[in-house]
Amino acid sequence: MSATIYDVAREAGVSMATVSRVLNDTAVVKEETKKRVQDAIAKLSYRPNAVARGLASKKTKTVGVIVPDVSAAFMAEVVRGIEDVARMYNYHIILCNSDGMLQREIDLVGTMWEKQVDGLVFMSPALLPEHIQTFEEAQLPIVLCRTDDPERRIPSVNIDNACASRDAVAFLRERGASRIAFIGDRTGDQTLTGLRREGYEEAVLRAGLVPVFIDTAAGDYASGLLAVRTQLSIETVDALIAANDELAIAALHACQDAGKRVPDDILIIGFDNTKLTQMARPALTTIAQPMYDYGAVAMRFLTKLLRDEPVDTYSVVLPHHIAEAASTRFHLA
Partner DNA sequence: ATGAAAGCGCTAACAA
Partner DNA sequence: TTGTTAGCGCTTTCAT
**In the complex, minimum distance from the CB of residue 51 to DNA, in angstroms, rounded to a whole number:** 7
- Nearby residues of 125 by Cβ (< 8 Å), 6 or more positions away: 68, 100, 147, 188, 189, 190, 191, 192
Residue 318 CB contacts under 8 Å (≥ 6 apart), including other chains: 157, 158, 159, 289, 290, 293, 294, 297
Q: How many residues at the interface with a copy of itself, by CB under 8 A?
A: 52
The reply on whether position 55 binds a copy of itself by CB under 8 A is yes
Near a copy of itself by CB under 8 A: residue from 35, 87, 206, 261? 87
- Return the number of the residue (50 or 317) whose C-beta is nearest a copy of itself: 50
What is the amino acid identity at position 41? I
State which of positions 26-85 bind DNA (CB under 7 A): 26-30, 32-34, 46-49, 52-53, 55-58
Binder of residue 23, out of a copy of itself, DNA, none (CB less than 5 to 8 A by kind): DNA
Convert residues 141-180 into a mask of x (bound to a copy of itself by CB under 8 A) and - (unbound).
Answer: ----------------------------------------
Q: Does position 52 bind a copy of itself by CB under 8 A? A: yes
Interacting span for DNA (CB under 7 A) from 13-21, 96-104, 239-247, 320-328: 13-21
User: From the list 4, 190, 191, 231, which residue makes contact with DNA (rule: CB under 7 A)?
Assistant: 4
Is 249 a residue that touches a copy of itself (CB under 8 A)? yes
Strands (E), 98-222: 119-122, 142-145, 156-159, 180-185, 212-216
Residues from 283 through 322 that contact a copy of itself (CB under 8 A)? 292
**Long-range CB pairs of 143-148, under 8 A, 24+ apart, other chains included:** 143/119, 143/298, 143/299, 143/301, 143/302, 143/305, 144/298, 145/78, 145/82, 145/121, 145/294, 145/295, 145/298, 146/78, 146/192, 146/294, 147/122, 147/123, 147/191, 148/191, 148/192, 148/195
Q: How far is the CB of 16 from DNA (least distance, A)?
A: 5
Q: Does 281 bind a copy of itself (CB under 8 A)?
A: yes
Shortest spacing between CB 323 and DNA, in angstroms: 47
Spatial distance between the Cα atoms of 111 and 73, rounded to a whole number of angstroms: 26
Which three-class secondary structure state does DSSP give residue 15?
coil
Q: In the complex, which residues of this chain contact DNA (CB under 7 A)?
A: 1, 4-6, 13-18, 20-21, 23-24, 26-30, 32-34, 46-49, 52-53, 55-58
